[in-house]
């Protein structure tokens, strides 16, 4: 059983993350776990007027659009590179599971690796990778 589940959401691909959130919510309900919905943004945006916390309403809108009754969900924003920020956030919030999307690998992923691959190798907790349908 898991007590706290981290669910990284890339806001640009939020519409494709409904299945991901549904799986995480189902697992949270079964085990009485809390979900931490996370989005990771660059430390400095291309538009210098945009602050990291400006992404929080978009993340919350995505979460609010999901069927999450009976599950406590906290939305958080962190800065940095996702492959590093996700394991860091999991440790910070003492998560015992990360549920995240992964796309079909492209040629560059075989050379430099994917975000999901890096998280699987470096997270201190279990990681469930959900294959994103394209």
Q: Express each pLDDT in 20-33 by its tens digit.
A: 999 999 999 999 99
pLDDT digits (tens, 9 = 90+) for 110-125: 545 688 888 999 999 9
Q: What is the pLDDT of residue 45?
A: 73
CATH, residue 41: 3.40.50.620
pTM comes to: 0.89
- 97 Cβ contact list (under 8 Å, min separation 6): 2, 4, 5, 6, 27, 33, 125, 126, 127, 128
Instruction: Tell me which residue range forms the domain holding 51.
Output: 4-131
> What pairs with residue 78 in β-bridges?
40
Q: Work out how many domains the chain is built from and give that number.
A: 1
pLDDT digits (tens, 9 = 90+) for 56-111: 999 999 999 999 999 999 999 999 999 999 999 999 999 999 999 986 655 555 54
């Amino acid at each position: 059983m898991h007590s706290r589940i981290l669910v990284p959401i890339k806001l640009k691909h939020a519409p494709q993350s409904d299945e991901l959130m549904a799986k995480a919510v189902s697992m949270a309900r079964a085990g009485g776990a809390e979900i931490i919905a996370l989005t990771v943004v660059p430390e400095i945006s291309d538009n210098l007027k945009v602050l990291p916390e400006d992404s929080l309403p978009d993340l919350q809108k995505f979460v609010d659009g999901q069927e999450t009754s009976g599950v406590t969900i906290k939305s958080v924003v962190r800065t940095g590179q996702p492959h590093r920020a996700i394991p860091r956030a999991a440790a910070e919030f003492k998560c015992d599971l990360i549920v995240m999307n992964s796309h079909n690998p492209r040629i560059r992923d075989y050379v430099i690796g994917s975000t999901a691959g890096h998280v699987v190798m470096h997270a201190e907790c279990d990681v469930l990778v959900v294959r994103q349908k394209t």
